[in-house]
Structure 1
């Protein structure tokens, strides 16, 4: 075989080799910046916003390649076999369960009715409107928006303030910890958020807490938004009521 033929065959093989490498299996979770949406997206007559990030799993290097093209700041976490099996079997059900629980808690805590059947229609309506959004980290902002609606309040002061945040809401109105704090703060900053609520949980989780991570991100990224740490729904409402 001539030298020219060998070179031609090699050149033809390069795309095949690259293609086969791109389809090699890889199991990683990704997280990157997302967006903010008004709480009215859930059919709630409030002025506040909720913040979400983009996340999911990838199964090969081709998916990772395209994600890197689309996002300038993205984090990957390698999944072991157990974690990957969980994501592909039980994760969806767990996400749906916790999502419903935070909405149930938000409605029951802010409604004039006792947590009985009277609130079920509202819970179902919000669940339907929130069907495209993953997770339960919008719980606090759902509760704040519902209180605005219930009390005819406008904490944005006629849209002069852009208020958002993250955190679940529990039965005792405590604000629960969530994931992806860094990317939620970066998303809020990019969208011009003025006030951003974060769970006040350093006493429980130390360096791994949402509170400590937020403090570090604010310093490292030199963010301008005001971050307010709250441990309960009432603390968030007190801050908004007394805001000058």
Structure 2
């Protein structure tokens, strides 16, 4: 066989080999960061922002190269057969369920004694607005945005989201059936209120039963 014939055969075979490698099965989970979005994108009249995590599975190297092209800092994790079966059957349904529950909890915890139908309408509206956002990591920001909306507050003013004792009291009044956990107290960079002062204030205003002020290293189980 001549040298030219060998080169021609090689040129024909090479794309076939590359294509076969690209579609070789690879079962991996991927995660990548979404954009930072204002809660107004979810129909909430607040000043805070949320971010979200995009996740899913790749099944070959073409998928991986495409994701690396679209996103920066994409991470991959190998899946065993059981995990892969879960991702291809129940995963999307579970993700949607947890996202909806996150929104339900955010609305209910900030609605106080609002009418049940009104709460349900708001939940439906936010779920619809959140349809294009993946995951369930934005519940806290939705809750803060709803509080801003309800209390006519803007926690972005002054360059700080640190709440004072009066802010905590307003939250307690707006969500009387909730437990409030005051964290990051007495930190060097934002020690505007001590644990003792907040405790005494809550007793004075009569909402100490709903307020929990953990000491450093303390945790709670619910």
| TM-score w.r.t. length of structure 1 | 0.63
Alignment-derived partner of residue 70 in structure 2 = 70
What residue number does 2:57 align with?
57
Per the alignment, residue 151 of structure 2 pairs with: 151
Match of 1:130 in 2: 130
Q: 1:130 to 1:174 in 2, by over 3 A?
A: farther
- Give the structure 1 partner of residue 97 of structure 2: 97
Backbone CA RMSD of aligned residues: 2.6
CA 1:135 to 1:54, structure 2 compared with 1: closer, same or farther past 3 Å?
closer
Q: Which moved more, 1:1-10 or 1:11-20?
A: 1-10
Q: Tell me what 1:180 maps to.
A: none
Query: Number of aligned pairs?
Result: 171
**Matched-pair contact (CA < 8 Å) for 1:46–1:154:** yes
Structure 1 residues 221-240: aligned runs within 5 Å:
none
Tell me the equivalent position of 1:43: 43
Deviation at 1:125, TM superposition (A): 0.4
Q: Tell me by how many angstroms 1:115 deviates.
A: 7.2
The alignment status of 1:79 with 2:79, answered yes or no, reads yes
Q: Choose 148-157 or 54-63, whichever is displaced more.
A: 54-63
**Alignment CA distance shift 1:76-1:153 (3 Å):** same
Q: 2 CA distance for matches of 1:71 and 1:162?
A: 30
Contact 1:107 1:119 in 2 (8 A): yes
Q: Measure how far apart 1:173 and its partner are.
A: 5.4
The structure-2 alpha-carbon separation of the partners of 1:162 and 1:44, relative to structure 1 and needing over 3 Å to count, comes to farther
Q: Kindly tell me: are residues 43 and 173 of structure 1, through their superposed partners in 2, closer, same or farther at Cα, counting changes over 3 Å?
A: farther
Match of 1:118 in 2: 118
- Report the Cα offset of residue 24 of structure 1: 0.6
Range with bigger deviation, 30-39 or 105-114: 105-114
Contiguous gaps of at least 5 residues in structure 1? 164-170, 176-198, 201-225, 227-233, 236-244
SS in 2 for 1:130: helix
- Cross-structure match for 1:211: none
**Maintained 8 Å contact 1:49/1:162:** no
User: Greater strand percent: which structure?
Assistant: 1
* Conserved 8 A contact 2:52-2:135: no
1:68 to partner: Cα distance: 2.6
Q: Distance in 2 between matches of 1:14 and 1:91?
A: 38
Q: For 1:162 and 1:80, locate their aligned partners in 2 and report how far apart those are by CA, in whole Å.
A: 45
Change (3 A) 1:115 1:106: farther
Deviation string 1:155-203 (CA, Å, 9 cap, x unpaired) is 111xx6487xxxxxxx95589xxxxxxxxxxxxxxxxxxxxxxx99xxx
The corresponding residue for 2:33 is 33
Mapping 1:156-167, distance limit 5 Å: 156-157=156-157, 161=159
